[in-house]
Structure 1
Amino acid sequence: MTLRRASSGNNENPIAETEEIEGSMSLRWRLALLSATLVAFAVGVITVTAYWSVSSYITNSIERDLEDHAEILLDRAKSPGFYANVETEIDAFGDYARGVRVALIPPGWEYVIGESIALPEADFLNQKEPGSLLISTTVERILVKRDDTGAVVVLAKNMVETERQLTTLGVILLLIGGCGVLASILLGFVIANEGLKPLAKLQRAVEDIVRTDELRSIPVVGNDEFAKLTRSFNDMLHALRESRKRQSQLVADAGHELKTPLTSMRTNIELLLMTSKNGGHSIPKEELDSLRHDVLAQMSEMSDLIGDLVDLAREERTEVLETVDLNQVLEIALDRIESRRLTVNIDVSETVQWEMQGDDFSLTRALVNVLDNAIKWSPEHSTVRVLLTQLDNETARIVIDDSGPGIAESERELVLERFYRSVSSRSMPGSGLGLAIVHQVVHRHGGKLVVGESDDGGTRIIIDLPGEPIRSRFENVDD
């Protein structure tokens, strides 16, 4: 019986839902909404700023007008005979300042001439010093001003109509802003369609490549970001073409190289089967033993060839690099080649402490291949000479010399190619992949491999690898 835990609706992940929504939204919608958001923000800022600017300007203008009117009336009050006809003067001033209620308290008087205006802050009237006071109520702006004679002018401006106009202005600005946002959405779609045409063209080209499986380059138009993206995509297609070409070449070469030993092995096995059916009397014992030896040798040759092919395919992949002690790698390679020495000596005359970033497994296999070739081609009782030196502060050099027949100068570049075998080595067993694998390993590590001639006419393999000397732990200690 299987128990299942019921999932609760409260365990939903809102972040995942948001990512799903964003992932399902087309790029055109994203650009349009982004432009609409930016325009809405800009329109909002402009609308608020415009409304605040207009409202402040109108309010300040009204307050300046009240201040000017108060100055005019107080100056008029200083004229001779003003207070003899004060009520007439107030009426005349009311006709001049339309929409403004006027009240005047002459110096030393206890009552007010003109309109009856209620003041929220009446303490100002009891003061003796000149000055002014601006009071804002829900419906009026009130200015109280006293001059040096003690006369007080009170002016009141009704703000109901002004507030209504400002409200209307705010609604108009809001409508204009909304229309601007809608227009920005439509304009965003137009801009997105025009701006994404190169991307749509690239998408169609990619779909055509997927459909036809032809890795042909895409034409590049212009020098903008889409052109750079197309160039990068073409570089990727070039790398894919090269990878496919290498894979096809590897399969073709492997098939060609495996065909010959397979054919010979099949023939020899058929002869052995025929011999076993006839009781082993049709072929002499010496020839039968030679036939069995040939089958085993061909099986060994095929095994070596398949191993080399696997190594070559492995080198096509990118390995994880780490710090490698090159001296230790050389020692491991020498230990592995120990059983293959037979009557050939190996002389390691000089080594340096060197470290580099690389793959120790690949480097060890490469050195084993070089040493194995040197031993195989060296005559009996000869010496293979190995040298590890520091070329400069950034490069170490490994030199391996043998005393064999050497490689002709015209073939020294060719032996680094896959499956190529020099004329003198075609009678010997081998796949022609050893030095190709070494060259590939060295090249992948940023190094260089050169095939030359040793001092006694044999083959010299020179391998230059980057890195740096291993510093002693005592070098960093102050004297």
Structure 2
Amino acid sequence: MSLRARVTWLAASCVGGAVALVSLGAYLTVSDNLYDEVDVSLARKATNTVRSPLLAETPSGDTFPAAFLTLTDVQFAVIDDRGAILFGDADHQPPIGPAERAVAAGERADYLRTDRRTDRRVFTVPYRGNALVLAQSLQPTKEQLADLSLVLFLIGGAGVLVAAAAGTAVARTGLRPVQRLTWATERVAYVGDLRPIQVEGDDELARLSHSFNQMLAAVAYARDRQRQLVADAGHELRTPLTSLRTNLELLLAAEAPDAPRLSEEDRAEIHADLRAQLGELTQLIGDLVDLAREDAPNLDPERVDMVEVVEQALARARRRAGDVHFEVDLQPWYLMGEPVALERAVLNLLDNAVKFSPSGGTVRVDLRPAGDGYAFLQVADAGPGINDADLPYVFDRFYRSDEARTLPGSGLGLAIVKSAAERHGGAVYAGRSADGGALLAIRLPGRPDVSSS
């Protein structure tokens, strides 16, 4: 059963149950009142009759008391203790049984009962040593109750139908956003269409639709980034692969029969080119793997001492820095994150600074709190710096300025830095250092004491 059908049935069932309870209560209340009214009417008539002043003026005997003339709408009879009728209509006499005879004999006081055989209500009171028996048919009362039950049934049925119709309308209107979500998920699953869905209102379903649109936007952004990464990687791989193929074909052609031989100098140059191109490919593939790892979700964060992370990265950078020196000023800073990813990001900053530093240059590394729960890690070099036109793009994937194209690298190192910083809730910045070189910085959240969480 669909959700819409369940909502319809739920509304109809709730209204039906409520109508049934109200109808039952109304029916029982009216029924009790009607039967009580019959009893009260019989008791009042019997009491008024036996206490009527006309009876005192009527002598005992065979004379028909004038007070009985008021009992025209009920059946009545005066009986003795044997049940014999002294006064009354023999053709329309009330039911007479042991209880009525007992009242006539003085063994019982007033007595009220229902005669099931004739479906009449019978009331008996003592009367001058005998008993006055009154009886009234219950058929009119039952007909009224039957009419009432029919009216309640019709009104209740109409209420259930109206509730079902209202439930259907509410379900159709209320579940329209869910239906749009269903169509959107099916469209994404079968077609890959990530267009946002229409949102109406500001209720919970509207917020769900907003969240779904945000998810679609995130998926679309991730897909675009993936496509861009594949396109950029293919573009970057094309050049070294072409060079490798050209050099390999040249070597193979030189080894063919009757082909001119390459000189040792040319062969050595080709071998050097092959090694350089293989190294470039290895670095590019490694950077792509690292970047893909950086884009993966952070599943197991731990407390990270940034001073320790920077010192480990400095130890690795010094081994390949040559005559470039490092000036280091580190203040304590702790955060929750992945130490391996942060160390790789710091190492990429240091390697980038070393690559552009002049011989004998100095790279300044500074880590200090900046307030508001953030700290800045700054790496400054004394190289040629970054052109103003290149500053907004230095952290983009595969972006390399004109000056950097002649140097080794894949254009992914700073993109890995940006990815690691953003995964830890931080950001990256680029500018000019005091020495005229490049100033690259990472802003990271955390605290200056070990209780960071």
Question: What is the TM-score with the length of structure 2 in the denominator?
Answer: 0.76
Aligned to 1:333: 313
**Relative to structure 1, is the Cα distance of residues 70 and 362 closer, same or farther in structure 2, using a 3 angstrom cutoff?**
farther
1:415 counterpart = 2:390? no
Residue type of the partner of 1:40?
A: G
How many Å separate the matches in 1 of 2:332 and 2:124?
A: 100
Mean CA deviation greater in 444-453 or 82-91: 82-91
| CA distance 1:186–1:284, change in 2 (3 Å) | same
Q: Name the residue aligned to 1:99.
A: 74
**Distance in 1 (alpha carbons) for counterparts of 2:6 and 2:355:** 68
**Pairing 1:57–2:33 present:** yes
Secondary structure of 1:450's counterpart equals strand
CA distance in 1, matches of 2:322, 2:125: 122
Q: Structure 2 CA distance, aligned partners of 1:293 and 1:140?
A: 123
Aligned equivalents of 1:174, 1:348: Cα separation in 2:
90
Aligned-partner Cα distance in 1 for 2:6–2:239 = 62
Deviates more, 1:371-380 or 1:272-281: 272-281
Structure 2 CA distance for aligned equivalents of residues 248 and 228 of structure 1: 30
Secondary structure (helix, strand or coil) at the match of 1:426 reads coil
Pairing partner for 2:334 from 354, 371, 374: 354
Number of equivalent positions? 436
Quick one: distance in 2 between partners of 1:317 and 1:341?
30
* 1:416 counterpart SS class: coil
1:451 correspondence with 2:447 = no
Q: Does 1:47 align with 2:27?
A: no
Corresponding residue to 2:5 among 14, 25, 29: 29
Are the counterparts in 2 of residues 253 and 419 from structure 1 also a CA contact under 8 Å? yes
In structure 2, the residue matched to 1:250 is: 229
Query: Is the Cα contact below 8 Å between 2:180 and 2:197 reproduced in 1?
Result: no
> What is the identity percentage for the equivalent residue pairs of Structure 1 and Structure 2?
38
**How many Å separate the matches in 2 of 1:414 and 1:62?**
98
One-letter code aligned to 2:348: N
Residues 1:439 and 1:194: Cα distance change in structure 2 (over 3 Å): closer
C-alpha change, 1:204 and 1:403, in structure 2 (3 Å) is closer
CA contact (8 A) 1:355 1:470 kept: no
Alpha-carbon distance, 1:352 to partner: 0.8
1-structure distance, mates of 2:158, 2:279: 83
- Superposed CA offset, 1:170-223 (max 9, x none): 466446645654675567557656776776677667767777655445556677
C-alpha separation between the residues in 1 aligned to 2:381 and 2:287?
23
Q: Does 2:297 align with 1:318?
A: yes
* Change in 2 beyond 3 A, CA 1:152/1:412: farther
Alignment partners' CA distance in 2, 1:314 and 1:256: 21
Letter in 2 for 1:99: V
What's the secondary structure of 1:424's corresponding residue?
coil
Match of 2:414 among 432, 435, 439: 435
Q: SS of the counterpart of 2:403? A: helix
Distance 1:429 1:145, change over 3 A: farther
Indicate if the aligned counterparts of 1:406 and 1:457 stay in contact, CA closer than 8 A. yes
Unpaired segments ≥5 residues, structure 1: 1-24, 106-110, 474-479
- Any conservation in 2 of the 1:390–1:397 contact (CA below 8 Å)? yes
Structure-2 change in CA distance of 1:60 and 1:302 (3 Å): same
The residue type equivalent to 2:234 in the other structure is G
- Which is worse superposed, 210-219 or 394-403? 210-219
> Is the contact made by 1:347 and 1:386 (CA closer than 8 Å) also made in structure 2?
yes
CA distance in 1: counterparts of 2:24 and 2:298, whole angstroms: 61
Distance 1:278 1:337 in 2: 49
Pick which of 240-249 and 377-386 moved more: 377-386
Query: C-alpha deviations, 1:274-310, integer Å up to 9, x for none?
Result: 4455899944434433322221111111111112222
After superposition, give the CA deviation of every residue in 1:252-271 in whole Å (9 maximum; x if it has no partner): 11111111111122222233
Q: Is the 8 A contact 2:255 2:261 kept in 1?
A: no
2:287 maps to which residue?
308
Matches within 5 A, 1:129-168: 157-159=136-138, 162-163=141-142, 165-166=144-145
Give the letter for the 1:254 counterpart.
A
Shift of 1:459: 2.6
The change in CA–CA distance for 1:404 and 1:165 in structure 2 (over 3 A counts) is same
Tell me which residue corresponds to 1:372.
Answer: 351
| Alpha-carbon distance between aligned partners in 2 of 1:235 and 1:74, rounded to the nearest angstrom | 90
Is contact 1:142-1:157 (8 Å) kept? Answer: yes
Q: Could you tell me which amino acid in structure 2 is paired with residue 38 of structure 1?
A: C
Taking only aligned residues, the RMSD between alpha carbons, in angstroms, comes to: 4.6
Q: Take 1:143 and 1:391, find their aligned partners in 2: how far apart are those partners?
A: 100
Q: Is the 8 A contact 1:393 1:468 kept in 2?
A: no
Q: Distance in 2 between matches of 1:299 and 1:320?
A: 34
Question: Separation in 1 of the partners of 2:400 and 2:180?
Answer: 49
Q: Following superposition of structure 1 onto structure 2, how do residues 226-245 of structure 1 map, counting pairs within 5 Å? A: 232-245=211-224
Contact 2:385-2:436 within 8 A present in 1 as well: yes
SS of equivalent residue, structure 2 residue 350: helix
Distance in 1 separating the partners of 2:347 and 2:383: 17
Could you tell me the TM-score, scaled by structure 1's length? Answer: 0.72
TM-aligned CA deviation for residue 447 of structure 1: 1.0
Q: Which residue identity is paired with 2:28?
A: W
Task: Check 1:152–1:423 CA distance in 2 against 1; reply closer, same or farther (3 A cut).
Answer: farther
Per-residue CA shift, 1:313-340, capped at 9, x if unaligned? 3333433252331424334434544533
User: Taking structure 1 as reference, are residues 82 and 391 closer, same or farther at Cα in structure 2, changes over 3 Å only?
Assistant: farther
1:42 deviation in Å? 2.7
